[in-house]
Each structure stands twice: as structure tokens, then as C-alpha cells.
Amino acid sequence: MPEMADPPSENEPDAPPSGNAPDASPSGGESPVPASVRAQLLATEHWGLLAARGTTQSEVLSRIGMFLTLTSAALVSLALVGQASKFSGIFPGFAIVVLGIVLLVGLLTQLRVMNTMMEDLQYVLAMNRLRAAYAELDPGIERYFMESRFDDMAGSRETYYFLGPRGPSQLLGSSAMFIMAVNSTLLGLLTAAAAGFVTASTALAAAVGALFGVALLALSLWRGSRRYFTFWKRHIPMFPTPQSSQAPPTPPAPPT
């Protein structure tokens, strides 16, 4: 008779079941969720962040368009009323009221633009963390990322502009800078009109308007930069950029 195999000992571990075995978690233990399921969960979160980011940007662009339309209509109405009144009589009071209303709408739009910039930053940091999770699931995929997987200041800058260091043109050409410039111009016109209503000196009215316009622009830049750097002082990244990654890359040696 053929020999019977010995039954498994109680001290011997059971063989792993067939199918998807649990994958190792990033912390070193075993995760009860397969890697494929975790990848689907991360992708769902990624798409949710992309949708929220796109909705926020679309909303603020609509707000900017509405503000610019109102500004254009206000300037056209000032031109028509000024031509009809020969820029005297009711025109100074009308100009002050119209410019004041447009400036109020502009300041509210600027506040929304600044809030949107911070919201966009949080979406960028959240998606950077998701890329870090993708790299933990598949370490070989990191070299295909154009955007960063680090959720600190250096990582956010790389995600916003991964073609190299960001220059001043990125700030000067931003929507926030554009709205600040328009609002500063409106405040300059408003204060110049008010000064012209009080005094007959055109030079004095122009100087007052220019002073108030430049002051608003400087104040807006200071408040925006203060809010941005205050956030980074309080932010604690989960995946900081390695020091070696922050150094400029060494150019490759010429072929021999």
C-alpha cells in the first residue's frame, strides 16, 4: 500500500489562500486591502480633487469676467454722462458714486481671487500626497511623474511650474495681480474725482489719486504674501522634499 502523508502539525502555519494576498503597507506591516483596491480608492480621490479644483477655477473666472463687464459699463456711462453734462454739474457726484460701487465689487472679487489661490494650493498639496501614495504602491512609477509628490513649498512650486525655477513673470501675469492693478486704478480714479470735487487743482487731484492707487497695490501685495508665507509656517508636510532634490541637477557629461 502507498504510504500516507503525515497530517499537518498544529504548529505549522497554514498555507496562504489562493487569490489576492494582502499587500505590504507603507508602514511595513500587511494591509488587508489589495493594492488594486487601494489604487482605485486613490484614483477616486484624485478625480474628486481635480473636479473640485476645476469648479473653483471656473467660478472665479466667471467672477472676474462679471467684474470686468461691470467696469467697462461704468466707464462707458461716465463718458456718456460727462459728454452730456460737459463734465460739470452732476458729473463729479455721479462719478464718485459709480466708481465707488465698481470699486466695492472689485475688492470683493479680489478677496475671492485670493481665497481661490489658497484653495488651489490645498488641492495641489492634496494631489501631491496622492502621487506619494502612487509611488509607494509602485516605486518604479516615480520617474514618470512630471509633477511633484512632495507636499511642502518646494513640491508645490514644482507642481505649479515643473519646467524650471519660477520667475517674476508668473506672479506679474497672474489673475490676482491683474485684479489688484484694476482695483488700484479704480481707487486712484475715485480719490482723484473726490479731490477734484473739493479742490480746483487738477495736479493735486491727480497726485492724490496716484498716491492712493499705489498704496492700495502695495497693501494688497503685502496682505497676499503675508497670508501665503503664514500658511507655510503652520503647514506640517507629510512628505517633505529631500535636500538632495532641492539642489539644481548636475548637467550630464558630454558623450565621448
Assess whether pLDDT exceeds 80 at residue 127: yes
Contact 102, 74 (CB under 8 A): yes
Dump pLDDT digits (tens) for 56-93. 999 999 999 999 999 999 999 999 998 998 888 888 88
Distance CA 94, CA 193 (A): 10
pLDDT tens per residue across span 153-204: 999 999 998 887 888 888 889 999 999 999 999 999 999 999 988 887 889 9
Averaged pLDDT, 112-132: 95
Q: How confident is the model at residue 245 (pLDDT cuts 50, 70, 90)?
A: low
Do residues 160 and 166 lie in contact, with contact meaning Cβ atoms separated by under 8 Å? Answer: yes
pLDDT per residue as tens digits for the range 174-188: 999 999 999 999 999
